[in-house]
Structure 1
Amino acid sequence: MRGIGRGLGVLLLLQLALASDPCYDAAQRPRYCLPEPADLAAGRPIRASATCGRPPQRVCSFRHPGDPSSRQCRLCDGVDPAAAHPAAYLTDAGGEATCWQSGPGANASLTLALGGRFELLYVALRFCSPRPHSMALYKSTDHGHSWTPLQFFSARCPRVYGLPPASAVAKATEHEALCTAAQTDPTPLVGGLVAFMPLAGRPSARVFENSPVLQDWVTATDLRVAFDRRHRALGLRDREASYGVSDLQVGGRCRCHGHAARCGAAGPGGAPQCQCRHNTAGPECETCRAFYCDRPWQRGTPSDAHECVACECHGHSHRCRFNLELYKLSGRKSGGVCLNCRHHTAGRHCHYCQPGFKRDLSRPITSRRACKACQCHPIGAIGTMCNQTTGQCQCKMGVTGLTCNRCAQGFQQSRTAHIPCIRCPVWYPRTPLCALPPGTECRTHCNPSHGRVHMNLRKYCKKDYVLRAQLLAMVESGEWWKFTASVLAGYRQG
């Protein structure tokens, strides 16, 4: 009973796992799926262009969000862990309890390598200093080789970044960075937040899965935050003021194109690997699996998972390729072309027999023996090809039979392979044999003997046929006599 109970438990867990598969419904039909969002910055190293404490220096900040008189100054020492403010504090588990300080200076930047290609959902910075007067957010899609602006924040956009302040995103410019004065006020003096959502306000965000422009817009491998100007007149001297950020969060998910619900172990180079479903493959499920290319690859959408479909090769091939023209001609239903058909099959779907073979209609097309050799006669047939359905070989003139193995009526066998059957000099329709003019038959073959025939070896070898027959009856028919004979034995043929 314990074994049965354990088996039922395993079966139940398996059924629950199948039922909870986010990429398939309870009937195992494919459906749209996405990986769970995660904080892409958590625990990852960040490179800062400037960090206080080397050499030790005095930095000041505020203790109260709304009280400028709550200024406090401390010594930042990079050697002393209790007095250091490294960039690692931006993504550690300490949250607002730990803080990175840039140290005195007009500009500073933070660079985060995400470790792969991700789709960004939001970027948020919690400050332990007054928020910057001007800052910019950039992304890279080629691991830091080039950078594209995502958003500019400034109280004076035209003067600092040469852009007009914008509050609405136009359809034609939804893939371009805007400049906004929002979230640039210095208050609160501590704990202020700057957040950016790449899809917020974008006209095509509601149809994101059908917008390649926005899909590229939110894709990134690296992020950079550039602090370009501080607020002045806050009671802090330039040599004591610094940028301070207590927490950096980057919300995003693996880029799996709607074909995976989980990101597995890191792939080549440490990049995350999507656990692809819907018969897709690749680090980002960006292509179809081998042999599953009967339709073109497409990104999954909430209305259609666009599952990759296997080619129809009837079990005679394990390789195929996609042909766009055939796909269009089929009404966008099938574009797969099977490669290297086996078992003597041929065709786009390995659905008919190759030349020299015919269909064995007693077996299904999926059988390894669905095609069998035509067996066309090497002399009587024009070639080795035969009709796929009937098996009829293509015969030479005067030759007949399924395999072209005998002369047709009105023809007799010749002595040349080029023209194996020649027309009879005289032919009677009711007789399947050729007939020679009266009185010439026997003279062309032999001299009849009126007595007993003695066959020696010399005569035997010169004859085409040597038979032993018994005459049973003889009937006169005009100038001819009709004999009925029974062949008792055949000694030589051909």
Structure 2
Amino acid sequence: SALPEKSFQPSRTSCRVSPDEHTAWLTSVSGSGSGWVSLFPAIFNLANNAEISSNATCGDPEPEVYCKLVEHVPGRRIKNPHCPRCDANSRHPIINAIDGTNQWWQSPSIKNGRQFHWITITLDLNQIFQVAYIIIKAANSPRPGNWILERSLDGVTFDPWQYYAISDSECLHRYNITPRFGPPTYRSDTEVICTSYYSRLNPLEHGEIHTSLINGRPGADDLTPDLLNFTSARFIRVRLQRIRTLNADLMTLSVHDPRDVDPIVTRRYYYSIKDISVGGMCICYGHAQSCPLDPVTKKLKCVCEHNTCGENCNECCPGYHQLPWQPGTLSEGNTCEKCNCHNKASDCFYNQTISDLGLSLNRHGVRRGGGVCIDCQQNTIGTNCESCRDGYYRPAEVLVVLRPGRGCLPCSCIQSGSVSESCDQDGRCHCTEGVAGDKCDRCSRGYYGCKVNSNTHTHTHTPVTGDSASRCHLLSGQCPCRDGFSGRSCDRCAPGYYGYPACSACDCDLESRQVNATAEGVLGTGPGSDWVLIGSDWFFSDSD
């Protein structure tokens, strides 16, 4: 059936029962008056906001009369011989166990059958919490004899937290666990024990059962991952398996069906619980000191600190992965550390190999941690965005840490004239042979014909030779020739000269109208319009 809607009121005083040992632990983990740097929300009674159900309740489906055992113990004076009636008008539903009133839940008595030894009560906390302790108060009957306290994260698979038995021998015979004598103690953070300490017959009513899940365990002072996992639960189940009876009735009830036994005996044996308190807190892994109700999800949500994020502060926030996420403890806050991306990236991730090799620089300039920056901006790359991408450079006088918008500058190398897109810290590109210039945009000395195509950025360059090649015109390739020489590379004799490479002046007899000279390789006509080249000799042509 639907339970009445209740508002979350997490507070340290909302637990109706808080023994001194649990109050002390509550104060310690909350850090009240301490120098601890970890953060823990306040402990409150998780049962106040839980949904609770049981598979049996007195008066359902039929009314019945029950009697209080305390009024029917031989040798004791009867205070109130009246046996009340449990019916539709006077029922004791399971909600009474967590509503904070003086009402109680009560099971059918074994007068209705032996099956009512086995009853299950389940609490749904509606989300996963860390449970510190559970306190159960009996009402008008003794505390249960044999039973199991269980936990679950999903409501399907349950694991035991603790076993309870009428006697130490029952621990061995029924649960196959060596009993823990005296008040419960624990040797490990996840040990599940069996105890008869809380199953004694006295008191016959209003007895209490205190189950501490953290206190007394090795990891209580500095919560370990094992202890945190062991105490995490959304569902809590109480599996009642045997009602505590008087020893005088034990044999009779063991041999005979309770329905065949005098009802005066059987109607006084039943379970009753007037309060279940579950002390716990939100699981924030030591990174939050409060968890208010989220009005959208209707669940408690951690207010994360220490640069942590996630529903339970279970991960580092974006950009804070210089060190791996760790839960906060009572002695260590384990704050997530921001990556050193030199203001060039907003996120990063942790890499253990990078940390082991010391390749990541933290914000203090120390190679500690494994933060690797993601999606470096302003044309930077590297573990810490400390280098420029190919094709970009950072001037030597400019620091790695630049103002937004002042990242690496483009090299702007002409592709066909450079070896690669990279350049040095002064922006000078690495040019191919015959090409020069900071951007590889002109010919080197001794080369000519460099042309830049705006679409393809292609270059054509041709070497020139000769003793004046290093001083040739960069575009035309024309070398400055000495007298008697001509050609782009000064590799021919000029008209009127012969005998390359000496190129001596011709000694011509103009009257004989013949030039006895050789002008090998000379281009064009002779010195005047009347000179013609025939073979390798110049002749004077009479225009008449």
TM-score by length of 2: 0.68
Aligned length: 414
SS at match of 1:252: strand
Asked if the contact 2:67/2:84 (under 8 Å) is kept, the reply is: yes
Equivalent residue for 1:183?
198
Q: How does 1:61-140 map to 2 (within 5 A)?
A: 61=68, 69-70=78-79, 72-77=82-87, 79-80=88-89, 83-94=90-101, 97-104=102-109, 105-128=116-139, 129-140=141-152
Equivalent residue for 1:52?
58
Q: How does 1:46-445 map to 2 (within 5 A)?
A: 46-54=52-60, 55-61=62-68, 69-70=78-79, 72-77=82-87, 79-80=88-89, 83-94=90-101, 97-104=102-109, 105-128=116-139, 129-142=141-154, 144-154=155-165, 155=167, 156-167=170-181, 171=187, 174-208=189-223, 211-233=224-246, 237-266=265-294, 270-330=298-358, 333-361=368-396, 363-364=398-399, 365-367=401-403, 368-387=405-424, 389-409=425-445, 411-414=446-449, 420=461, 422=463, 424-427=465-468, 438-439=482-483, 441-444=485-488
Cα offset, 1:64, TM superposition: 7.6
Q: 1:182 to 1:116 in 2, by over 3 A?
A: same
The Cα RMSD (Å) is 3.4
AA matched with 1:122: Y
AA matched with 2:83: C
Q: Residue 46 of structure 2: which of 40, 44, 48 is its match?
A: 40
Unaligned stretches of 5+ in structure 1? Answer: 1-21, 450-494
Asked if the contact 1:60/1:242 (under 8 Å) is kept, the reply is: no
Q: Deviations over 1:191-216 (max 9, x none)?
A: 101110012432333332xx221111
Unaligned stretches of 5+ in structure 2? Answer: 1-28, 110-115, 250-263, 360-366, 452-457, 497-544
Q: 1:309 to 1:267 in 2, by over 3 A?
A: farther
- Measured in 1, the distance between the counterparts of 2:369 and 2:417 equals 42
Q: 1:176 to 1:240 in 2, by over 3 A?
A: same
SS at match of 1:159: helix
- Measured in 1, the distance between the counterparts of 2:487 and 2:373 equals 64
**Computing the radius of gyration over CA atoms, which structure comes out larger, 1 or 2?**
2
- Measured in 2, the distance between the counterparts of 1:65 and 1:261 equals 51
Asked if the contact 1:115/1:270 (under 8 Å) is kept, the reply is: no
Asked if the contact 2:199/2:244 (under 8 Å) is kept, the reply is: no
AA matched with 2:163: F
Asked if the contact 1:62/1:72 (under 8 Å) is kept, the reply is: no
AA matched with 2:153: T
Asked if the contact 2:393/2:408 (under 8 Å) is kept, the reply is: yes
Cα offset, 1:174, TM superposition: 4.1
AA matched with 1:98: Q
Equivalent residue for 2:258?
none
- Measured in 2, the distance between the counterparts of 1:225 and 1:353 equals 64
Identity of aligned residues (%): 29
Cα offset, 1:425, TM superposition: 2.4
AA matched with 1:227: L
SS at match of 1:220: strand
Q: 1:301 to 1:125 in 2, by over 3 A?
A: same
- Measured in 2, the distance between the counterparts of 1:248 and 1:170 equals 23
Asked if the contact 2:72/2:78 (under 8 Å) is kept, the reply is: no
- Measured in 2, the distance between the counterparts of 1:157 and 1:31 equals 42
- Measured in 2, the distance between the counterparts of 1:267 and 1:304 equals 32
Cα offset, 1:298, TM superposition: 0.5
Cα offset, 1:88, TM superposition: 1.0
Cα offset, 1:268, TM superposition: 7.8
Higher strand share: 1
SS at match of 2:201: coil
- Measured in 2, the distance between the counterparts of 1:153 and 1:392 equals 82
AA matched with 1:329: L
- Measured in 1, the distance between the counterparts of 2:67 and 2:484 equals 134
TM-score by length of 1: 0.75
Cα offset, 1:301, TM superposition: 1.7
Q: Deviations over 1:26-45 (max 9, x none)?
A: xxx99311000000101433
Cα offset, 1:177, TM superposition: 1.5
- Measured in 2, the distance between the counterparts of 1:380 and 1:75 equals 104
Q: Which has the larger displacement, 293-302 or 352-361?
A: 352-361
SS at match of 1:385: strand
